Amino acid sequence: MPFPQEFLWGVATASYQIEGSPYKVGGGRSVWDMFCERPGAIRDQSNGDVACDHYNRYVSDVALMSDLGIPNYRLSVSWPRVMPDGVGAINSEGLAFYDRLLDELLAKGVQPHVTLFHWDMPVELYLKGGWLNRDIADVFADYTQVIVDKLSDRVASWMTLNEPQCFIGLGMQAGIQAPGDRHSFKQILLAGHHALLAHGKAVQVIRARSAKPARVGWAPVGNPCIPQTNHPADIDAAREATFNAQEKTIWSHSWWNDPVFFGGYPQHELRVFGSDVPEPRQGDMETIAQPLDFFGANIYMGDMVCAHPVTGDPIPAEYPQGTGRTVYHWPVTPEALYWGPKFFHERYGKPVVITENGIGISDWVALDGKVHDPQRIDYLSRYLLALEQAINEGVEIDGYFQWSLMDNFEWQEGYRFRFGLVHVDYQTQKRTPKDSAYWYRDLIASNGAILHPEAL
């Protein structure tokens, strides 16, 4: 069975990773501009000052998407480009950039899907405590209002926050991403609570002020657990392990999604996290649990588990020897795009949208001037076949945004890892569609049918 006729095929990017930093053109600095200046923070000592220069090249980049027949584009807005200090003054040229970008997208037949926050927090807000300062929730709502008032007449769907697990866990606990702090677990759960509040307040602003009806969600990340075998005990163990953290970890799916979809923190994690848990104020959980239209999920891989032979409890299982790995050394586990949507849809009852999926490879332009990336085509084919199987078994899945349209600044890895369907030469800014770009064009045109060449 092919994908549903109305299935949303798209690609995704993020402001700091492709635009070029805003601080040179009237915007402010973000925590990523700050973090990139820290010696050793970025593996290749690079930064996002220029990146893919999308700020100046958006017309040709949109034309690329249109020529490839890509109908949906998930972009993020740079908070400091629009509000240099995060609050107060607006950089009119920054807001005008997104105004022009959305007009260009629609003129070329591409629907815009907007992420409000993809990690580039204004430094001025960070210096006031950032996510640790409860005021951030109202400040984020004010920023949301500026964006909604300007752009909502053209936005197909909104995602409030991208991957709080990363910007809180990696940025504030592990310290390997911006702002590069190392807080206690208690502190990052408090920061996470403020991020959840910011999410809820932003949803309220969108619902109250959007100029047209739009779907609203968010884009958390996390590895679903996948069963080592299809034995019911292993499947039950994978489901259990996906939602019940066995340790104090910021990567718990339920810790983030239960407040958003159920209005309360999960009982299991409340026990495991103990006295580190933040104390919500009156009304907090109601604010956080604003109704959403879809369950967004960034899924790249699954964590393999099996059932303990006696207790049935989930225990970590080794991937088969020689499992394929990406340039990040992430295991290639297509079944993550079957089990993840299945488990998330079962628990939260919302249509699932894969807001990110893709593979990092260190690919290059071959002597024939093309970029041959058969591994990306195979990776995407396997993951999409798994997603199609879930759909055929009744899991509601509304869309898929491939990460990413183009090679870009891969955070602490700098420009070493390439995720794009389109190759970017960072010296010349030349874009070269890879073989996978043309494959994705044909996949979209066939609504997934080319995944079954035998049926063509």
Q: Are 337 and 299 in contact (CB under 8 A)?
A: yes
In 3D space, the residue among 236, 249, 215 whose CA is nearest the CA of residue 355 turns out to be: 215
265 vs 403 by CB, closer to ligand GCO: 403
Catalytic residue among 163, 269, 335, 410: 163
Instruction: Give CA–CA dist 13/393, Å, rounded.
Output: 30
Which amino acid, one-letter code, is at 75?
A: L
Segment interacting with ligand GCO, rule: CB under 6 A, options 90-98, 121-129, 162-170, 316-324: 162-170
93 is catalytic: no
Report how many residues bind ligand GCO under the rule CB under 6 A. 11
* Using rule CB under 6 A, residue 403 touches ligand GCO: yes
Catalytic residue among 124, 269, 335, 356: 356
For 261-286, b/e burial (b = at least 16 CB within 10 A) is: beeebbebbeebbeeebbebeeebbe
Angle at alpha carbon of residue 42, lines to 158 and 16, rounded to 5°: 25
Segment interacting with ligand GCO, rule: CB under 6 A, options 44-52, 84-92, 94-102, 159-167: 159-167
Q: Are 411 and 363 in contact (CB under 8 A)?
A: no
Site for ligand GCO in 265-324 (CB under 6 A): 298
* Using rule CB under 6 A, residue 361 touches ligand GCO: no
162 vs 287 by CB, closer to ligand GCO: 162
* Using rule CB under 6 A, residue 333 touches ligand GCO: no
21 vs 162 by CB, closer to ligand GCO: 162
91 vs 177 by CB, closer to ligand GCO: 177
125 vs 405 by CB, closer to ligand GCO: 405
Q: How many other CB atoms sit within 10 Å of the CB of residue 91? A: 20
17 vs 223 by CB, closer to ligand GCO: 17
Q: Is the N-terminal amide bond of 78 cis, ω within 30° of 0? A: no
* Using rule CB under 6 A, residue 407 touches ligand GCO: no
* Using rule CB under 6 A, residue 419 touches ligand GCO: yes
Segment interacting with ligand GCO, rule: CB under 6 A, options 161-169, 255-263, 273-281, 369-377: 161-169
Q: Compute the least distance from the CB of residue 163 to ligand GCO, in Å.
A: 5
Q: Compute the least distance from the CB of residue 144 to ligand GCO, in Å.
A: 19
Site for ligand GCO in 2-21 (CB under 6 A): 14, 17
* Residue carrying structure tokens 């996390």: 222
Which amino acid, one-letter code, is at 40?
A: G
* Using rule CB under 6 A, residue 410 touches ligand GCO: yes
Q: Compute the least distance from the CB of residue 453 to ligand GCO, in Å.
A: 29
Angle at alpha carbon of residue 208, lines to 206 and 210, rounded to 5°: 50
167 vs 265 by CB, closer to ligand GCO: 167
Q: Compute the least distance from the CB of residue 238 to ligand GCO, in Å.
A: 22
Q: Compute the least distance from the CB of residue 166 to ligand GCO, in Å.
A: 5
Instruction: Give CA–CA dist 15/198, Å, rounded.
Output: 19
- List, in order, residues 6 or more apart from 162 with CB less than 8 Å away: 14, 76, 115, 117, 118, 119, 218, 219, 298, 355
* Using rule CB under 6 A, residue 162 touches ligand GCO: yes
Q: Are 71 and 10 in contact (CB under 8 A)?
A: yes
* Using rule CB under 6 A, residue 163 touches ligand GCO: yes
* Using rule CB under 6 A, residue 120 touches ligand GCO: no
Q: Which of 356, 373, 388, 398 is the binder for ligand GCO (CB under 6 A)?
A: 356
Site for ligand GCO in 201-240 (CB under 6 A): 221
Q: Compute the least distance from the CB of residue 419 to ligand GCO, in Å.
A: 6
Q: Compute the least distance from the CB of residue 409 to ligand GCO, in Å.
A: 8
* Using rule CB under 6 A, residue 332 touches ligand GCO: no
* Using rule CB under 6 A, residue 126 touches ligand GCO: no
Segment interacting with ligand GCO, rule: CB under 6 A, options 32-40, 126-134, 158-166, 249-257: 158-166
163 is catalytic: yes
Task: List the catalytic residues.
Answer: 163, 356
Residues that bind ligand GCO (CB under 6 A): 14, 17, 162-163, 166, 221, 298, 356, 403, 410, 419
